[in-house]
């Protein structure tokens, strides 16, 4: 059994504690999170993304700005993410609004990516129809030769987003399904913690 008093009053502090626990437990890809978006018709879609840090008041991730997820985020700038760490019997849900990160932040992260990842980002028309893998391999061969021994600039269609939360929900599993759920909601820039039924 867990009590609200055992949770930090600041959800960011609690998030960092849980995330650090997941890293220290050597969970495979502790930074993996499911990102859920929806278009203006309310049709949802979800995919696994990689959390890249807390900055600009939220959680950052990077992607192709021409992808389906980006088109949905541009038209409906709200999203939710879920971290699930089964080895720790923990799940974390975060909901909030979405903003693009400044180009300088995208440039900084772009330059930390492996060279192969940067080349792939240049040639992949993410979420668009292609004739087959061969099409991508041919483009990759051309672009690899073009940038041989050269810096690879970040394309304008690739960069980051930040999810600025207004709600956190920390979930702890119970073997008999009497799970603990602690929800942080923000009102007037202050966080309030409540407990929800499983």
Q: Are strands 32-38 and 44-50 parallel, antiparallel or unpaired?
A: antiparallel
Overall pTM > 0.75? yes
Q: Is the dihedral of CA 58, 75, 93, 95 positive or negative?
A: positive
Mean pLDDT value of segment 58-84: 97
**Which residue in this structure is represented by tokens 């909030």?**
96
Q: Can you give the pLDDT at residue 182?
A: 96
Q: Which of 118, 177, 181, 192 is catalytic?
A: 177
Q: Can you give the pLDDT at residue 1?
A: 53
Provide the pLDDT confidence category of residue 176 given band limits of 50, 70 and 90.
confident
How many angstroms separate the CA atoms of 148 and 134, rounded? 21
pLDDT digit string, tens, across residues 105-136? 999 999 999 999 999 998 888 888 888 889 99
The pLDDT of residue 53 is above 60: yes
Domains of the chain, earliest start first: 4-110+156-196 (2.30.110.10), 112-153 (no CATH)
Q: Can 78 be counted among the known catalytic residues?
A: no
């Amino acid at each position: 059994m867990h009590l609200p008093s055992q949770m930090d009053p600041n959800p960011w502090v609690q998030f960092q504690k849980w995330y650090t626990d997941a890293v220290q437990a050597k969970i495979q890809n502790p930074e993996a999170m499911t990102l859920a978006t929806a278009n203006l018709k309310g049709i949802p879609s979800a995919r696994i993304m990689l959390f890249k840090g807390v900055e600009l008041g939220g959680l950052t991730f990077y992607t192709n700005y021409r992808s389906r997820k980006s088109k949905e985020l541009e038209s409906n700038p709200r999203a939710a993410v879920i971290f699930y760490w089964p080895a720790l019997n923990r799940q974390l849900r975060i909901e909030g609004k979405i903003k693009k990160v400044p180009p300088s932040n995208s440039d900084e992260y772009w330059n930390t990516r492996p060279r192969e990842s940067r080349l792939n980002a240049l040639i992949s028309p993410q979420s668009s129809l292609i004739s087959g893998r061969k099409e991508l391999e041919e483009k990759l061969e051309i672009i690899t030769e073009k940038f041989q021994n050269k810096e690879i600039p970040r394309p304008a269609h690739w960069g980051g987003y930040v999810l600025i939360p207004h709600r956190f929900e920390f979930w702890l599993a119970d073997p008999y399904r009497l799970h603990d759920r602690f929800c942080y909601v923000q009102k007037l820039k202050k966080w309030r913690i409540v407990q929800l039924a499983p």
